[in-house]
């Protein structure tokens, strides 16, 4: 695989550190170069790191429920910084209260995120979509990927 660079971190005032370390490990094992910004990361820090590392994707995590507030305007800031083509993913417990995932996903995509992941999404699903969106899937991975696509499509559960 052509090494692609990811910038990952936990946005806002969120201090949940374990999950982002697990994702960092999984992404590295899958062949990605990873810059892990850790916790309590601002939008500006994500964007600056993406520019500095010539990243292919920004992956934003949030577990404390305020991700929706923390990421507002992030796509616009990335575009203004010259990152119009960068992939942007968001995942975790990204909203307050129980809400249908399909509605949450729609709102985040409207904010400019390419993919939205519910709490508990396995790293393998993130990796599959990264490879798919970056044009890195081989034939076997494309076949295997039908399962994550089926699991992630038309979710009705509340998150």
Of the candidates 14, 56, 70, 126, the residue annotated as catalytic is 14
Distance CA(24)–CA(39), nearest Å, equals: 13
pLDDT of residue 154: 53
> Is 141 a domain residue?
no
> Is 133 a domain residue?
no
> Is 110 a domain residue?
yes
The question of whether 14 is a catalytic residue gets the answer: yes
Reported as a single tens digit per residue, the pLDDT across 8-51 is: 999 999 999 999 999 999 999 999 999 999 999 999 999 999 99
> Is 142 a domain residue?
no
> Is 82 a domain residue?
yes
| Strand bridging mode 33-36 / 57-62 | unpaired
The CATH number covering residue 82 comes to 3.40.50.280
pTM greater than 0.75: yes
Domain extent for 45: 5-122
> Is 74 a domain residue?
yes
142 pLDDT band (50/70/90 cuts)? confident
Average pLDDT, integer, range 60-75: 96
> Is 39 a domain residue?
yes
pLDDT of residue 140: 74
Number of domains in the chain: 1
In the chain, at which residue ranges do the beta strands (DSSP E only) sit?
5-10, 33-36, 57-62, 87-92, 115-117
Of the candidates 2, 5, 16, 56, the residue annotated as catalytic is 16
> Is 131 a domain residue?
no
The question of whether 85 is a catalytic residue gets the answer: no
Reported as a single tens digit per residue, the pLDDT across 80-126 is: 999 999 999 999 999 999 999 999 999 999 999 999 999 999 999 99
149 pLDDT band (50/70/90 cuts)? low
Q: Is 74 exposed, middle or buried (0-12, 13-18, 19+ CB in 10 A)?
A: buried
Residue of 153 and 141 predicted with greater confidence: 141
pLDDT of residue 157: 63
């Amino acid at each position: 695989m052509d090494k692609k660079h990811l910038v990952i971190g936990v946005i806002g005032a969120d201090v949940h550190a374990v999950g982002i370390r697990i994702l960092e490990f999984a992404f590295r094992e899958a062949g990605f170069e990873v810059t892990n910004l850790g916790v309590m990361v601002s939008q500006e820090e994500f964007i600056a790191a993406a520019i500095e590392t010539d990243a292919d994707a920004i992956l934003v995590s949030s577990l404390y429920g305020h991700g929706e507030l923390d990421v507002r305007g992030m796509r616009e800031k990335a575009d203004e910084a010259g990152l119009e083509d960068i992939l942007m993913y968001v995942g975790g417990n990204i909203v307050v209260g129980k809400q249908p995932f399909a509605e949450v996903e729609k709102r985040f995509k409207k904010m400019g995120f390419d993919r939205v992941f519910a709490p508990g999404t396995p790293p393998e699903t993130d990796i599959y979509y990264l490879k798919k969106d970056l044009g890195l899937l081989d034939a076997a991975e494309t076949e295997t990927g039908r399962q994550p696509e089926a699991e992630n499509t038309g979710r009705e559960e509340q998150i």
